[in-house]
Amino acid sequence: MSFKDTFLNGEKGLFKPDGLTPMQKLALRFVVTGVLFYGLSAIEGMIMRMYAIAPIPGINAEHYFAILTAHPLVGIFGSSYSIVFGAFLFLVPFLMKKPLWSIKLGNWSFILVTFGTLTFWGAGFIAHYAPLYTLYWPLPADFSQFGPVGGAIFILGIALVMVGTLCFVINIFKTISYTPEGHEKVDGKAMFWSAVGFRWKESIFRKKSKREENLTSLPIAAIARGTVDTALNAGIITFTGVLILVYMVAAIFGHSLENTAIDALLYKNWFWWGLDLIADGLVLIFVAGTWYLLAMLITGKDLYMARIARLALWVEMVVSWTVWSHHLLSDQAQPAILKIVSGELVTAFELITQGLAFFITLITLWSARPLKMTNPLKFLLGGLLGFGLAVPAGIIQADIGLNRILHNTQWIIGPHVHVAILVGLTMTLYSAIYYLLPILTNGAELYSQKLANWHFWLHLIGGVGMGAFMGMAGLKGMLRRTIYYEGEYSIYMILAGLAGSLLLISFLLFLYNVVMTVGVKGLIGIYQPAKLKTDALLPEQQAAE
């Protein structure tokens, strides 16, 4: 095939969007859009990397901080949420061998998350609303720095994402618990409680003779437990958004609400409790669940210590409700007991739960050696490495003594946050994408394995390198969320910028490889209505019906 043919129709013309089921289209729409939002977030990240070397003429401080505000939200909601939602809305029915509860609701999730992300990104770009995602009160309602109209549109965008998220949550739990027409009746409540880990009859702490088999498989349990945190987080963010919106609407109508009516420290506790349901909750749980699933799929074997793994997922969920105080170790008014118990000790459990997930996955892989170094396997190993580096970095900063000299430095955002997200989470998601690609595309062939190899190495070196150089700067006192004008840390930032550029190049190679795999016509076709009218997941299942 000529270059032009491949570019238009994909590798060997194998990908036919007309042959996709509505479920395949839904999953692909989410994943492709999530990948594109990752690209937007990567470009923003690169702008900020350049700005950290030397402020860029033409981008003033207001614009820079607006980018800094939008960047993590586009990355988390626009990219990670989209990819995860698409994958799990497909995988839950796939693993449970029944249709998704509502494809229509799934498409609404997609529309709301996508347009919500575009709305808040656009509002930030135009109005420069920039209180950062931390929203420390009363900053989001400080209208001497930010206009209320732009802010209100920004909050509206976040609200759309949250409504889309709640649609996802409903769809996941309904799919787990409902009985489709023609299927054997299941006890919906029992399925739900089994999935979230509160069904006593199957508890690991019950006598073996009295213990019942788990009604839901381990990957379903992981998805359900992560979804609990997703739901709680959506509730907190929505409440917070409504609160800020009240202040903004009042300001738009010329009424200034007293901005000290809300206790700043209580608000900070509330906000971090909610936000940690993402950072220390659903991310870790979803990732662990995805590792387990991928390890089982790659090896074709049962998971090592599956019961312990299931228990660890439950502990992870409960731990994620109680660790928020590690963000407030430098708040002197925060009670010491909360700092020690929640901030230090409970947080240390994450080392145990994530460490268990790390070793259980490795041991499962080892049980099937020799394995072929496929794309899913190599990206899975990259994801494991990412969390192997990032979780201990987080435990170090979640320490009363060390936090005093690390808080808000580049250490936090480099070796911990970016290595966790870019190397740990993103490489795990790439592993799932490479695994699901032939399933979701009815056997489309990857355009170039060589490009996939470059994608892996450049992403890995770029992600680890960027985190390392940011961390070195942080240990030398470089703060996050600020601007340096005198090149105080330029050597570290040049090196971090070079590593960041490897990440961007690796993404462009991946994107090119995907476009050449499915073709431009194929990409457009994903977004067109499905021609097959079926709730089956795959075309062959429809044929079997």
Residue 528 CB-density burial (10 A; 0-12 exposed, 13-18 middle, 19+ buried): exposed
Torsion sign over Cα 57, 62, 66, 68: positive
For another protein, the binding residues in 438-467 under the rule CB under 8 A are: 464
Closest distance between another protein and the C-beta of residue 254, in Å? 21
| Residue 410 or 517 with smaller CB distance to another protein | 410
For another protein, the binding residues in 408-437 under the rule CB under 8 A are: 408-409, 415
Write the CB contacts of 112 (distance below 8 Å, at least 6 apart in sequence).
160, 161, 163, 164, 167
User: Among the candidate windows 210-218, 222-230, 278-286, 482-490, which touches another protein by CB under 8 A?
Assistant: 482-490
CA distance linking residue 464 with residue 499, whole number of Å:
8
| Residue 18 or 62 with smaller CB distance to another protein | 62
Torsion sign over Cα 424, 53, 499, 129: positive
CA distance linking residue 73 with residue 512, whole number of Å:
25
Please check whether residue 218 is in contact with residue 310, taking contact to mean a CB–CB distance below 8 angstroms. yes
User: Among the candidate windows 171-179, 196-204, 379-387, 537-545, which touches another protein by CB under 8 A?
Assistant: 379-387
393 contributes a contact to another protein by CB under 8 A: yes
Mapped onto helix, strand or coil, the DSSP state of residue 76 is helix
Q: Which residue has the tokens 């450049």?
A: 458
402 contributes a contact to another protein by CB under 8 A: yes
Selected binder of another protein within 136, 321, 454, 512 (CB under 8 A): 136
User: Among the candidate windows 57-65, 245-253, 433-441, 524-532, which touches another protein by CB under 8 A?
Assistant: 57-65
User: Among the candidate windows 30-38, 106-114, 124-132, 441-449, which touches another protein by CB under 8 A?
Assistant: 124-132
Closest distance between another protein and the C-beta of residue 418, in Å? 14
Please check whether residue 226 is in contact with residue 165, taking contact to mean a CB–CB distance below 8 angstroms. no
For another protein, the binding residues in 138-177 under the rule CB under 8 A are: 138-139, 142, 145-146
Q: What angle do CA 140, 144, 146 make, to 5 degrees?
A: 50
281 contributes a contact to another protein by CB under 8 A: no
C-alpha 134: how far from chain center:
17
| Residue 246 or 483 with smaller CB distance to another protein | 483
Residue type, 441: T
Selected binder of another protein within 43, 118, 265, 306 (CB under 8 A): 265
62 contributes a contact to another protein by CB under 8 A: yes
CA distance linking residue 80 with residue 77, whole number of Å:
6
Closest distance between another protein and the C-beta of residue 336, in Å? 5
Q: What angle do CA 433, 439, 440 make, to 5 degrees?
A: 70
315 contributes a contact to another protein by CB under 8 A: no
Report CA-CA distances (Å) from 390 to 314, 371, 447, 467. Answer: 21, 26, 33, 9
Selected binder of another protein within 126, 189, 256, 366 (CB under 8 A): 366
257 contributes a contact to another protein by CB under 8 A: no
| Residue 92 or 478 with smaller CB distance to another protein | 478
Instruction: State the binding string over 319-358 for another protein (x if CB under 8 A, else -).
Output: ---------x-xxxx--x-------xx--xx-xx--xx--
186 contributes a contact to another protein by CB under 8 A: no
CA distance linking residue 6 with residue 26, whole number of Å:
24
- Cis peptide bond upstream of 539, omega within 30: no
37 contributes a contact to another protein by CB under 8 A: no
534 contributes a contact to another protein by CB under 8 A: no
